[in-house]
Amino acid sequence: MRPQGKDLLGLATITTEEIELILDTSARMKEILSRPIKKVPALRGRTVINVFYEPSTRTRVSFELAAKYLSADCINISASASSVVKGESLKDTARTIEALGADVVVLRHPLAGAAHLLANTIAAAVVNAGDGAHEHPTQALLDLFTVKEKRGNLKGIKVVIVGDILHSRVARSNIWGFRKMGAKVAVCGPATLIPKDVERMGVSVHHSMEEALSGADVVMMLRIQLERQKAAFFPSLREYSRLYCLTPERLSLAKPDALIMHPGPVNRGVEISAEITEHARSVINEQVTNGVAVRMAILYLLSGGED
């Protein structure tokens, strides 16, 4: 079995079966990561090109390692170092990359829809590694994988996503992903950071963290961008933190075995208190490890590695 499309652009359009396929394949990949020699020849002779128009360490390194563990050749292109600074359009850059022989292009871009544009332009598989505030499907898939690994099942669990939902591609992808897997999703944040009509994505909306956290199986904290305060989305970090920081007291409202997640990097003491980051129920570091396995699975499946 293979995913239906040639690309992975988002979880809004993917089927539940495709998500399950990716999660099952990720489990097999994770086993490879536990071996003393973490390398298999599955994608030998294939080329993965990471094109990053935004700074990122975590995601880029994760994709790079995923490609290398599968023996693919992997090249990184960052916007500042390429002809992008000479004014080349995304489409022209894409055609150049394709002419260079890429089998899979991993794109991180500050504008929503950029991965769609790329996917419509080139025959190579495109993996969206984050496009503006639209989607970040690999992050959501690794979150699904992490929760599934811990809980065994996603159906019926309650996931609470707290913070800047408005600007968060992680939130959007996770809402689609968890909803498709049968979980209940609640979003929580100040009114100014909740996007309009988000209820139509199948979530409940809360402004009180206490209310949102009640009975939660998963608490996912989002990074708050400090510059949002200047744009008057909230009065001060102090007040934001008072209302939306995950503290041990607030965590006690969730289920006793609730998981704590964060896509990173963490603003300690702002959205998540220092003691929580190190909490036994925090799976923040496992999210990073699982990210490599999930990205291996995606590269493998999109490269037609099955045959």
Partner 1 sequence: MRLLIKGGTIVDPVSRRMFSGDVLVGEGKIAALGESLDDAVGDGGDVIDASGKLVVPGLIDLHVHLRDPGFEAKETIESGTRAAACGGFTSIACMPNTNPVADNQTVINYIRSKAKELGMVNVFPIGAITAGCAGKELCEMADLKEAGAVAFSDDGRCVADSGVMYRAMQYAAMVGLPIVAHCEDITLSAGGLVHEGYLSTMLGLKGIPAAAETVMVARDIILAEATGCRLHIAHVSTAGAVELVRQAKAKGLPVTAEATPHHFSLTDEAVAGFDPNTKVNPPLRSTADVEAVCAGLRDGTIDVIATDHAPHTPEEKDVEYGNAPFGMVGLETAVGLVWTKLVHTGILDPVEAVAKMTVNPARILGIPKGTLEVGAAADITIIDPELEEVVDPARFKSLGRNTPFAGWRLKGLPVATIVGGRVVYQREVARED
The site for partner 1 (CB under 8 A) is made up of: 12, 89-91, 109, 111-114, 116-117, 131-135, 169, 172, 195-198, 200-201
- Residue nearer to partner 1 on the CB measure, 155 or 200: 200
Least separation in angstroms between CB 109 and partner 1: 7
What is the rounded CA–CA span in Å between residue 177 and residue 182? 9
Q: Which is nearer to partner 1, 27 or 198 (CB)?
A: 198
Nearer to partner 1, 33 or 198 (CB): 198
Minimum CB separation of residue 201 from partner 1 in Å reads: 7
Q: Is the dihedral of CA 233, 237, 239, 240 positive or negative?
A: positive
Compute the distance between CA of residue 290 and CA of residue 143 in angstroms, rounded to an integer. 8
Cβ proximity to partner 1: between 74 and 118 the closer is 118
Cβ of residue 218: shortest distance to partner 1, in angstroms? Answer: 22
Q: Where are the beta strands (DSSP E) in 224-264?
A: 259-261
Alpha carbons 49 and 253: distance in angstroms, whole number: 44
116 vs 140: CA distance, rounded Å = 18
Strand blocks (E) in the chain: 47-52, 73-78, 104-109, 125-131, 158-162, 184-188, 203-206, 218-221, 259-261
**C-beta of 207 vs 281, nearer to partner 1:** 207
- Distance (Å) of CA 225 to CA 45, 113, 138, 166, 232: 40, 21, 21, 11, 12
Measured between alpha carbons, how far is 74 from 66 in angstroms, rounded to an integer? 9
Q: Beta 104-109 vs 47-52: how paired, if at all?
A: parallel
**Closer Cβ to partner 1, 11 or 213, answer by number:** 11
Q: How far is the CB of 99 from partner 1 (least distance, A)?
A: 18
- Ranges assigned E (strand) in 135-215: 158-162, 184-188, 203-206
Cβ closest to partner 1, residue 15 vs residue 285: 15
> Shortest gap between Cβ of 168 and partner 1 (angstroms)?
9
Q: How far is the CB of 8 from partner 1 (least distance, A)?
A: 16
Q: Measured from the CB of residue 11, what is the shortest distance to partner 1 in angstroms?
A: 11
